[in-house]
Amino acid sequence: MAGRKILVTAGPTYESIDPVRFIGNHSSGKMGIAIADEAAARGAKVVLVLGPTHLQATHQEIKTVRVQNAAQMYEAVHRYFKDTDVAVLAAAVADFTPEKTAPHKIKKHQATLSIPLKQTKDILASLGEIKTPSQILIGFAMETQNAKANALKKLKRKNLDFIVLNSINEKGAGFKHDTNKVSILTKNGDVYDYPLKSKKAVAADILDMAEKMFYSAGN
Ligand code: CTP
């Protein structure tokens, strides 16, 4: 991977409701940060677009672009994607954001409160639409039902080279843990099931697969 350009997204996004509140999720960014660190350790030039988390990458050479919300993440990713060999979108991006951010703190005048939400732009799908045959695009999926079938649909719909399916019912896997258990489904129809491992070791598996695909794409 020496000299190759890798773009990674990681962490949650925070969608502002008013100046003091947001809609977020439990992502810590650990998996994406581990991928960024591993890629940099392999000599890649890494840009990490990182949502709001107290964690950060450790490798000195990584360029980290901090963002808060899905719209900012979309903008940052598109700034770097043209000049990217491999993009790994590991962030837990909010699918919905408030239609409007209230300019002042919302007061509790009523007994109930509804906040109209609109869909955010799907960053991964937008890259799938513009990627060239030599660029490798990798997404993540977290499914609670028909996991592999749904992940495969997502892989096709978003025009990915492969998708990393997180097992969420597995002890020690997923949000905030230092370990993860994943399956990789490729566009060629291959399925690889991995055992529970450290996120660092999972990052290595993902980058091994990315390298393999990158070279078989004729690079
Ligand atoms: N993703 C993204 N931009 C979004 C939403 C998701 O780039 N606005 C990316 C994530 O980084 C991850 C993958 O898409 O790589 C996960 O998709 P997910 O949110 O699970 O699935 P959706 O396609 O939104 O479908 P659904 O929520 O219906 O499962």
pTM: 0.96
Any residues with Cβ below 6 Å from ligand 1, and which? 9, 70, 89, 91, 93, 95, 120, 122-124, 139-142, 154
Per-residue pLDDT band at 169 (split at 50, 70, 90): confident
Closest protein CA for atom 18 of ligand 1:
141
Q: Show the beta-strand stretches assigned E in the chain.
A: 5-10, 15-18, 21-23, 45-50, 63-66, 86-89, 96-98, 117-119, 136-142, 162-166, 179-180, 182-186, 191-193, 197-198
Q: Measure the CA–CA gap between 74 and 97, rounded to whole angstroms.
A: 13
Q: Measure the CA–CA gap between 193 and 30, rounded to whole angstroms.
A: 21
Closest protein CA for atom 23 of ligand 1:
154
The CATH code that applies to domain 5-102+114-216 is: 3.40.50.10300
Closest protein CA for atom 21 of ligand 1:
141
Around Cβ 74, how many Cβ atoms within 10 Å?
Answer: 21
Q: Where are the domains of the chain?
A: 5-102+114-216
Quote the pLDDT of residue 159.
98
pLDDT digits (tens, 9 = 90+) for 64-117: 999 999 999 999 999 999 999 999 999 999 999 999 999 999 999 889 999 999
Spacing, Cα 110 to ligand 1 middle (Å): 34
